[in-house]
Amino acid sequence: MADDFDLDTNDLERRMDGAMASLRTEFGSLRTGRASASMLEPVMVDAYGSPTPINQVGTVNVPEPRMVTINVWDKGLVGKVEKAIRESGLGINPQLNGTIIMLPIPELNEERRRELTKVAGQYAEGARVAIRNIRRDGMDKIKKADGLAEDEAKMWEQEVQDLTNTYIKKIDQALEDKQGEIMQV
């Protein structure tokens, strides 16, 4: 029966890749002094009774290096979009002009850069937790396997742990790169 056991490490790896992709998206939302439409990706608006990405309630443009504009399609959602941006923790003060919301991107001072590196650290920790949860799922499957020899179980556990360590190192490297990018003047 033990010969039938085969842990799907490809599934674990795929899920860990998903956690890394999510981290990259979150890091993309951290601004480094230049305007970018991707900085609004994690911001969700309470539109029509459900959380909706900003790019699904309006057109996001970057007309100049220090300005992002959002042309909200539904006038009734302008206030909700503005509120979502204010509460997002991006540190941007939206300015209304009819259905267009303008987001001037201020220069990053030293204090704000340090704040953003802490936010990046929180995003990285969230990704580490996700990786560890995937590791735990893999370990649980190994423990629940019927008739698996102890040395074979150890071999599978080591494989899952090695995969986990690889992804944790990738997260740490991505965090280090992002923090360097944020602190660069």
| Domain regions of the chain by residue span | 2-26+109-183, 34-104
pLDDT of residue 102: 92
> 2-26+109-183 architecture in CATH?
Orthogonal Bundle (1.10)
Decide whether 2-26+109-183 matches 34-104 in CATH topology: no
Q: What percent of the chain has pLDDT over 70?
A: 95
Position 90, amino acid: L
Eight-class DSSP state of 109: P
Nearest to 9 by CA among 151, 168, 162: 162
Among the listed ranges 97-101, 136-140, 175-179, which one has the minimum average pLDDT value?
97-101
pLDDT of residue 5: 66
Confidence of residue 2 (pLDDT cuts 50, 70, 90): very low
pLDDT of residue 4: 59
Q: What is the 3-state secondary structure (H, E, C) of 40-93?
A: HCCCEEEECCEEEEHHHCEEEEEEECCEEEEEECCHHHHHHHHHHHHCCCCCCC
pLDDT of residue 13: 93
Whether 1 shows a pLDDT value over 50: the answer reads no
> 34-104 architecture in CATH?
2-Layer Sandwich (3.30)
pLDDT of residue 48: 85
pLDDT mean over 60-68:
88
pLDDT of residue 132: 96
Is the pTM higher than 0.75?
no
- Contact yes or no for 157/175 (Cβ under 8 A): no
Whether 185 shows a pLDDT value over 80: the answer reads no
- Contact yes or no for 43/54 (Cβ under 8 A): yes
Confidence of residue 89 (pLDDT cuts 50, 70, 90): confident
